[in-house]
Amino acid sequence: MPVIAVVDYEMGNLHSVCKGLEKAGATPNVTYSAKELERADAIVLPGVGAFDPAVQHLRSRGLEQPIKDAIASGKPFLGICLGLQILFESSAEGIQPGLGIIKGKVRRFRPEPDITIPHMGWNQLQVTQPKSLLWEHLPSDPWVYFVHSYYVDPIEDQIRAATVTHGTQTVTAAIAHENLMAVQFHPEKSSNIGLQILSNFVAQVREKIPA
- pLDDT tens per residue, range 70-81: 999 999 999 999
Active site residue 188: yes
pLDDT for residue 211 is more than 70: no
Q: Residue 33's domain is classified under what CATH number?
A: 3.40.50.880
Which residue among the candidates 18, 57, 81, 166 is catalytic per the annotation?
A: 81
Which stretch of DSSP H or E encloses residue 52? helix 51-60
CA-to-CA dists, residue 43 to 130, 159, 189, angstroms? 23, 19, 19
First to last CA, the chain: 12
- Measured over the CA atoms of residue 13, residue 16, residue 22 and residue 23, the dihedral's sign is negative
pLDDT one-digit tens code per residue, 145-192? 999 999 999 999 999 999 999 999 999 999 999 999 999 999 999 999
Residue type, 176: A
pLDDT for residue 12 is more than 80: no
CA distance 22 to 198: 10
Q: What's the domain count of the chain?
A: 1
The pLDDT score that the predictor gives to residue 11 is: 78
pLDDT for residue 210 is more than 80: no
The pLDDT score that the predictor gives to residue 27 is: 97
The pLDDT score that the predictor gives to residue 113 is: 92
Active site residue 18: no
Which residue among the candidates 18, 119, 148, 188 is catalytic per the annotation?
A: 188
The pLDDT score that the predictor gives to residue 150 is: 98
Residues 175, 182: contact at Cβ < 8 Å? yes
The pLDDT score that the predictor gives to residue 10 is: 83
**Residue 138 domain boundaries:** 3-208
The pLDDT score that the predictor gives to residue 30 is: 96
| pLDDT over 70, % of the chain | 100
Centroid of chain to Cα 112: 26
Cβ neighbours around 141 below 10 Å, total:
13
pLDDT one-digit tens code per residue, 80-98? 999 999 999 999 999 999 9
182-211: average pLDDT: 94
